[in-house]
Structures are given as C-alpha cells and as structure tokens.
C-alpha cells in the first residue's frame, strides 16, 4: 500500500552512509544540533564537519545528507590542533 507525499520519517541514522574518520579511522557519528542542523563528529578523536542547518522539516534529510557528503569527502576539521 502506497501513501501520498514525502516520507519525513525515514530513519536518517540508518539511511545515511558515513565513512570512517579521515584522520584516525574512527566512527563518524551524525549529530543533530538544537533540532535545526546536523554535523558529523568522530567518536574517537572529535574531528567534525561544519554544521548544516535546515529551516523546514522537508529540508532535514537533505541537510543530513549534505553533512555526510562533506564528511565522506574529507572536509573535516581536526580537533585538538595546537594542544
Ligand atoms: Zn577521528
């Protein structure tokens, strides 16, 4: 049975493919920030992407996909530099 409209309730955490950390090979974790943005952070070394904001529910998945794409391209800021 099909339903009309866009499914906004897909499981983002399962749908989106996140590569391992470009710096340490750790696990990249998708995190939602204040319900209006996404970023990806390495569970091991804390490196992270910029935050990709969304304003409408329809844009939520796309913003998460963008964060994942940026992470997978290696556009990640290394944390702890200079310490
Ligand atoms: Zn890492």
Q: What is the pLDDT of residues 55-81, one digit of tens each?
A: 998 999 999 999 999 999 999 999 865
pLDDT at 83 over 50: no
Ligand 1 centroid to Cα of residue 28, in Å, is: 8
What is the C-alpha to C-alpha distance for residues 83 and 68, in angstroms, rounded to an integer?
Answer: 27
Q: Quick one: which H or E segment has residue 38?
A: strand 37-42
Q: Is 52 within the bounds of a domain?
A: yes
Is residue 33 a part of any domain in this protein? yes
Q: Which residues surround ligand 1, an ion (CB under 5 A)?
A: 21, 23-24, 26, 42, 44-45, 47
Residue 67 lies in a domain: yes
| Residue in 69, 71, 37 with CA at minimum distance from that of residue 56 | 37
Strands 28-32 and 37-42: antiparallel
pLDDT at 32 over 60: yes
The pTM of this model reads 0.82
Q: Is residue 38 part of a domain?
A: yes
How many domains, in total, are found in the chain? 1
Distance 16 CA to ligand 1 centre (A): 18
Q: Is residue 3 part of a domain?
A: no
Q: Coil, strand or helix: which one is 37?
A: strand
Q: Which residues, 6+ apart, have CB-to-CB distance to 51 below 8 Å?
A: 33, 37, 38, 39, 67
Q: Which domain covers residue 52, as residue numbers? A: 21-72
In this structure, is residue 9 part of a structural domain? no
């Amino acid at each position: 049975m099909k339903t009309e409209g866009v499914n906004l309730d897909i499981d983002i955490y399962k749908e989106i493919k996140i590569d391992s950390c470009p710096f340490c090979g750790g696990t990249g974790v998708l995190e939602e920030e204040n319900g209006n943005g996404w970023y990806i952070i390495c569970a091991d070394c804390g490196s992270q992407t910029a935050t990709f904001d969304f304003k409408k529910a329809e844009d939520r998945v796309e913003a998460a996909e963008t964060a994942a794409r940026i992470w997978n391209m290696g556009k990640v800021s290394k944390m702890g530099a200079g310490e």
